[in-house]
Amino acid sequence: MFTMDNGFDFSGKLNINFKPGAVKVIGKELAKQGIEKVLIVTDPGVLKAKLHENLISSLNQANIQYQVFSDVEPNPRDTTCEKAAILAKELKIGTVIGIGGGSSLDTAKCVSFLLTNPGRVKDYNGKDKVKNEPIPMIAIPTTAGTGSEVTANAAITDSEKHIKMSVRSQKIIPYLAVLDPELLATLPQHVAAFSSMDALIHAIESFLSRNANSFSDFFNLKAIELLSKYIRPFYAEPSNTEAAGNMLLGSMLAGLGISNTGTGNAHALGRALGGDYDMAHGLACSVVFPHVMKFNAMAQPGKFVEIAKAMDLPVKGLSEKEIGVKVVEEMFALLDELNIPAKLSGLNVTKESFENMASVAINNVKPNPRKTTETDIIRLFEESY
């Protein structure tokens, strides 16, 4: 519902090709635009699962030359992006194609802007530092997670300081997002669990963000509804095309949300964990998420009721406070059912690192609905331990 009290800004760039088998037409599309050479940016897991095969045959059919760069690691490093960009420059490519999870898409985003902007990735850490128009990029997600295919953000690790940087610019949004549910069919279950939770956390943190508005709420509530309805069937069987398709739709909507509102404390803490422990992003955010939700419930009780309704939780006759408790319980239940470790102590994290991680995380708590201090962050880490 729109209220006149604060109005809103909402930006995005949308060009979506969404259907089972959608990757098969990419070659034809590129040929129409006169593109002759592309770089495919991906990770070893995608190659092993042969998820790029339909893309390759589509490029071959259209006589488009390609090279594959498959060195992308989880929590991609600036040096990896720069290595891929050097290769792309040598090849004189017309388009970069990112295929994989958020790491591959974010690396491809860096390749696209490093080809037309001088210097290193770290020179572009922060908002609106990318000045020149990047070369066109196509994003093909193989997880329903980051929503990176529509976001104006690339999360890259500074390999010297071991912290997560965030390149944020409307210019780095891919010009085409190809959403093909068939690509998710062979996703390992633990990856399905981590990435799906990441998507749900995006939708909820964006909905609760201080920067949320009536327009981002449309996307986020629909995302919460789709993701919470399909997360279990998708985890149970990633080749369930209906579940995979709805998860892809939900993660993309949540991506549009976070691209405009930022994320909350689960991401502030999760990014600090990713930097210090090289932990999978979805896992790092998931472990702390129920505790962050418990912390935030008092700040936005009305919005917790809306979350409960979107998740179709049985809350009839309950007070706002009781509904808040139900939502938090549902988050713990989800982690349990998706076999996601619920404690940091089981993930080789040591308590000695809490202070240092809190000093990093405090820089990312601004959008969180409840005011957060470094002491609060340390307490959240302790509760998650």
- Interface residues with Fe ion (CB under 5 A) are 198
Residue 252 and residue 205: Cα distance in Å, rounded?
15
Residue 180 or 198 having the CB closest to Fe ion: 198
Q: Find the largest Cα–Cα distance for the chain.
A: 65
Question: Smallest distance, Å, CB 285 to Fe ion?
Answer: 6
Give me the DSSP letters along 48-89: HTTTTHHHHHHHHHTT-EEEEE----SS-BHHHHHHHHHHHH
Residue 246 or 364 having the CB closest to Fe ion: 364
Q: CA 259, 169, 277, 43: dihedral to nearest 10 degrees? A: 90
Residue 327 and residue 79: Cα distance in Å, rounded?
41
For residue 100, report the phi and psi dihedrals to the nearest 5 degrees.
150, -155
Question: Smallest distance, Å, CB 311 to Fe ion?
Answer: 19
For residue 37, report the phi and psi dihedrals to the nearest 5 degrees.
-140, 135
Q: Tokens at residue 255, please?
A: 């991506």
Question: Smallest distance, Å, CB 223 to Fe ion?
Answer: 13
Residue 29 and residue 33: Cα distance in Å, rounded?
7
Residue of this chain nearest to Fe ion (CB atom): 198
Question: Smallest distance, Å, CB 138 to Fe ion?
Answer: 21
Residue 198 or 376 having the CB closest to Fe ion: 198
Question: Smallest distance, Å, CB 68 to Fe ion?
Answer: 26
Residue 279 or 323 having the CB closest to Fe ion: 279
Give yes or no for a contact between 313 and 330, defined as CB atoms under 8 angstroms apart: yes
Residue 51 or 269 having the CB closest to Fe ion: 269
Question: Smallest distance, Å, CB 276 to Fe ion?
Answer: 17
Local structure of 165: helix, strand or coil: strand
Give yes or no for a contact between 133 and 116, defined as CB atoms under 8 angstroms apart: yes
Residue 195 or 300 having the CB closest to Fe ion: 195
